[in-house]
A and B are shown apart, each in its own frame.
Chain A
Amino acid sequence: MATRKTAAKAKPNVSKEDLLQYYRDMLLIRRFEEKAGQLYGMGLIGGFCHLYIGQEAVVVGLEAAAKDGDKRITSYRDHGHMLACGMDPKGVMAELTGREGGYSKGKGGSMHMFSKEKDFYGGHGIVAAQVPLGAGLAFADKYKGNDNVTFTYFGDGAANQGQVYETYNMAELWNLPVVFVIENNQYAMGTSTQRSTHSPSYWERGAAYGIKGEEVDGMDVLAVKAAGEKAVAQCRAGKGPYILEVKTYRYRGHSMSDPAKYRTRDEVQKMREERDAIEHVRQMLLTGKHASEDDLKAIDKDIKNIVNESAEFAKESPEPALEELWTDIYADEIPQEAV
C-alpha cells in the first residue's frame, strides 16, 4: 500500500495500547467489509449491501468516547458500527448471509440488525428515520434519570430530511442527551453535497435550534475521539444535544451494485493514498516506535483469521427454520425494565 505523503506525528494523550486498539478495530471493519464484498460477489449475500470502507475512523473514534450504557443507532451502512460496539463478527456476517446464526436470525439482513445486549438499536433502511428514534432513546434515558448518551449517526444525504430538523428542535427544547453524528462522506448515492444543498456546512444548521456543534476530520481517529469526548461531556452534564459533522469518505460504491460514475477514480485514489485513516494510525505506530512492522503483521493476521472465521460461520450456519416466517411478529410479554 502507498505510504502517506506526510508522516503523522503521534498526538499526546494517547497511550500505545489505545492506539493499537484503534488500529485493530479499524482494520477489523475494513477486512470484514472486504470479505462481505467478496461474499456478495459470490452470491452469498443478497439484496443491498452498503460497505463502510473508508469511514472506519468515525465509529472507532466515537466508540472510544463512549461508556457502558450509551446507545447507538444508525442507517443501513451499519456493519462498522456493529463491529465497533463489540458485536460478534460471526453474528453480523451470518445476518448478511441470511442465516439462523445472524443477529436477527436472518430476518433482518444487512440493513436491519440490532443488539439489545450491546445497545445497538439498528440498522434502519429508511433514510433519516433513525434520527428521531435516536432522540427517543435519549429521551428514555433522560426520563429514567441516568447519564447515558445516544450516538445518532446519519449521512449527508439524510441531513436534508425534514425529520432531522423536527428532531433538532425537540432535542434542544427537551435537553436530550443525544450526539448527532453526521457522517459526511460527500455523497448520497450519486448525488454530491454540492448538488444537493446550497449550505453544505451541515453542523451549522444546528444553530437555528440552539444546538452547538463542530466539524471534525473523520480520517483522523484521534480527532474524532477528542470531539466525541467533548460532545459526550456536554450531554452527560445535562446540557442537551451536540452535533458532530464528521468529514469522511467512502471508497466503495454506495452499495455493491453502484458503478460510481459520479466521481473520478482519481478522486477516490487520492483519498485512499493521502488520507486513509488506518494508514495514518499505522504510521503513528511505526514512527512513534509503538509497534514494529512485524507486530502489525501479526495483528493483520489475527484480524484476517477473525474475518475468515466469521465468513465460515456465515456460510455454515443454516438458513432459518421455515417456522421462523411466523415468529416475532408480535411480542407476548412486556419487556420489563426498571425506571
Chain B
Amino acid sequence: MATEILMPALSPTMEEGTLAKWLVKEGDTVSSGDILAEIETDKATMEFEAVDEGTIGKIMVAEGTEGVKVNSPIAVLLEDGESADDVASAAPAQAQEAAPAEAPAAAAPAQVADDTPAPQSNASPDWPEGTEMVQTTVREALRDAMAEEMRRDETVFLMGEEVAEYQGAYKISQGLLDEFGAKRVIDTPITEHGFTGIGVGAAFGGLKPIVEFMTFNFAMQAIDQIINSAAKTLYMSGGQMGAPMVFRGPNGAAARVGAQHSQDYAAWYASIPGLKVVMPYSASDAKGLMKTAIRDPNPVIFLENEILYGKSFDVPKLDDFTVPFGKARIWREGGDVTLVSWGIGMTYAMEAAEKLAEEGIDAEIIDLRTLRPVDYDTVLASVMKTNRCVIVEEGFPVASFSDHMASTIMQRAFDYLDAPVVTCTGKDVPMPYAANLEKLALTSTAEVIEAVKSVTYR
C-alpha cells in the first residue's frame, strides 16, 4: 500500500522547516537508509533518510519550499507493483495524531493558609520518661549508631578514605574494622567521584552503603553521582529501583582551615527532591537520626560537624533508640521570639537564649534536626505564638535554607508576624584564614542577640 512520507521533526524544538533539496525524483527506487532530501531545521541542515523501501511515486512539496509544517505529507512512497496512479489512494500516513496536547500542570500542593489546618507542633518526647541517660560525645554516638545498625543488617557497610585501618580521619569509625572486618569497613583510595559511584551502584544492587566523606568539601567531586544517580533514579525508574544509602561526614567550617575546607552544604542538598538531609546538633540526635538514616530506603545526606564531634550530651540508654525524620525538637520554650536553627547553628541560638533570658527576653528554640523532610508545622505553630522569628545558620546567605524558611513563614503565617523574619547566616565571602576575619565571617551569638532585639523592638 502506498504511504505518505511526512515532513520529519529533526530536532527537539522543530515545528516547521525548509525543504532545501530533493535528492530523489519521482520514479526512483529507494531503500532504507537512502537520503531522500535535505531539510533545514531551526538548527542545521539535515539529511532525511528513507525508512522503508519502495518507489517515489510523487513529490508533493517542491524543493526550496519554506515553512513546511512537521508531519505534513511531502511525498508518496509506492510499494512493489504499485503505480503512480495509486497515489490518490495513499494511506493517510501512519499516525497523524501528534502527541496529545500538553496537559495542564498538576496542581501543586496548595499552600493557601485559609483552608489548611492550623499547624501543630509535635512535642512528643524522643524517649520514655525516666530513661537512664549516658553522657556521650557526638563522635561516640555516631560510631555506636553505625555499629548497632551493622550488627542488625548484614547489607550495611562503611566505605571511605581512612575509615578502616586509620579508624577514621576524625575517629568516627573507631573500632569498626575490628568488629566487622575488612569486608564491611572498607578503605578507599582518594577518589571521591569513583567510590561514590561505586557506592551508589552497590545500593542499586541491594546493599546499604554508608559512604563517608572525609569532609563534605570533597563531596563536590562526587556531587553528580549523589544527585544525578542516587537522588533521581527512583523517579526515573518509575519506582523500580533507588539508592538506599547514607552519605556522611563533617560539613561546614571547622577552624582555621580556610576557604576550600570550610563550606556548609546544607542548602545545596536540601534543594534536591529525592534526597533526605539530616543535620544533627546533639549526640542523642546524632545517634537516633543516624540509625534512622541507615534504615531509610532513600539516599540520606548526613551532615556532621567537626566542632560538635567532641561535645558531650545525654544519650538515652535504650536497646534501639531512633529519632524520626521531619520532627523538630523544641529545646527551650518561650513566648517572646522563635529561634530556629539546626546543626552547629544551635550553639549560637542556645547561648543567645541564655543571655537574652537575663535581659527578660524569653526565646523559644527549635532545632530542625532534618532539613528534608522539614518540620514546618512546629516552626509555624511557634511563630504564631511568639509573632517573631530569627533563623540561624552558618551557610552562605544567598539562597540559604533560612531564606526558604523565612519565605514559608511569610506565606503561611504573614498575619501573625509583628516583625520581619531575620536571618543570621555566614557572610557572603569565601572563608578567610586569619583568626579575626574567620570569626567575622561566621555568624555569632552577638549577632543573634542583636537580631532578636531588632525583632522585639528592644
Contacts and interface: CB of A to CB of B under 8 A. Distances in A.
Contacts of A34: 32, 51
B410 interface: no
Contacts of A323: 106
Contact of A328 (B41, B97, B225, B238): B238
A256 B229 CA distance: 25
B194 A167 contact: yes
Interface residues of A, number: 85
A140 B159 CA distance: 13
A108 B193 contact: no
Contacts of A325: 105-106
A322 B200 contact: no
A243 interface: no
B395 to A, nearest CB: 24
Contacts of A139: 198, 201-202, 205, 207
A68 to B, nearest CB: 15
A337 B194 contact: no
A37 interface: yes
Given A121-B204, A132-B193, A322 B103 contact: yes
A104 B238 contact: yes
A106 B100 CA distance: 14
Interface string A114-137: 111000011111100101111111
Nearest to A308: B94
Contact of B240 (A42, A114, A259): A114
Contacts of A143: 155, 157, 183, 202, 207
Interface in A304-335: 311, 315, 319, 322-323, 325-335
A108 B240 CA distance: 11
B274 interface: yes
A329 B297 contact: no
A245 to B, nearest CB: 20
A31 B95 CA distance: 18
A314 B33 CA distance: 24
B66 interface: no
Given A108-B236, A114-B236, A136 B43 contact: no
B47 interface: yes
Interface residues of B, number: 75
A104 B237 contact: yes
Given A47-B12, A114-B240, A334-B295, A133 B106 contact: no
Interface string B216-244: 00000000110011000111111111101
B10 A41 contact: yes
Name, among A37, A253, A259, the residue most crowded by chain B CB atoms within 10 Å (CB to CB). A259
Contact of A141 (B41, B194, B205, B298): B205
Contact of A116 (B41, B100, B196, B241): B241
B360 interface: no
B81 interface: no
Contacts, number: 237
B191 interface: yes
Nearest to A121: B204
A140 B242 contact: no
B110 interface: no
Contacts of A260: 47
A339 interface: yes
B99 A43 contact: yes
A328 B235 contact: yes
Given A319-B103, A334-B244, A42 B33 contact: no
A319 B296 CA distance: 31
B83 interface: no
B186 to A, nearest CB: 8
Contacts of B195: 132, 166, 170
A316 B428 CA distance: 53
Contacts of A339: 154-155
A42 B9 contact: yes
A324 to B, nearest CB: 8
B228 A126 contact: yes
A133 B200 contact: yes
Contacts of A38: 51, 94
A329 B201 contact: no
B10 A256 contact: yes
B194 A329 contact: no
A105 B238 contact: yes
B167 interface: no
Interface string B157-172: 1000000000000000
A126 B224 contact: yes
B9 A40 contact: yes
Contact of B236 (A71, A107, A115, A144): A107
Interface of A: 1, 34-35, 37-44, 46-48, 71, 73, 97-98, 102-108, 112-116, 121-126, 129, 131-141, 143-144, 162-163, 166-167, 169-170, 173, 251, 253, 256-261, 265, 272, 311, 315, 319, 322-323, 325-335, 337, 339
10 contacts: A108-B237, A114-B237, A114-B241, A124-B229, A129-B224, A139-B205, A257-B43, A260-B47, A327-B239, A335-B241
Given A41-B10, A339-B155, 15 more contacts: A43-B71, A107-B238, A133-B197, A136-B197, A139-B198, A140-B206, A143-B207, A166-B191, A166-B195, A257-B41, A259-B45, A259-B47, A261-B44, A328-B239, A331-B297
Interface of B: 6, 8-12, 14, 31-33, 35, 41, 43-47, 49, 51, 70-71, 94-95, 97-100, 103, 105-106, 109, 154-155, 157, 183, 188-189, 191, 193-207, 224-225, 228-229, 233-242, 244, 273-274, 276, 295-298
**Considering the complex of A and B, which 7 residue pairs feature the smallest CB-CB distances, nearest first?**
A136-B201, A132-B197, A166-B194, A140-B205, A41-B8, A257-B11, A105-B238
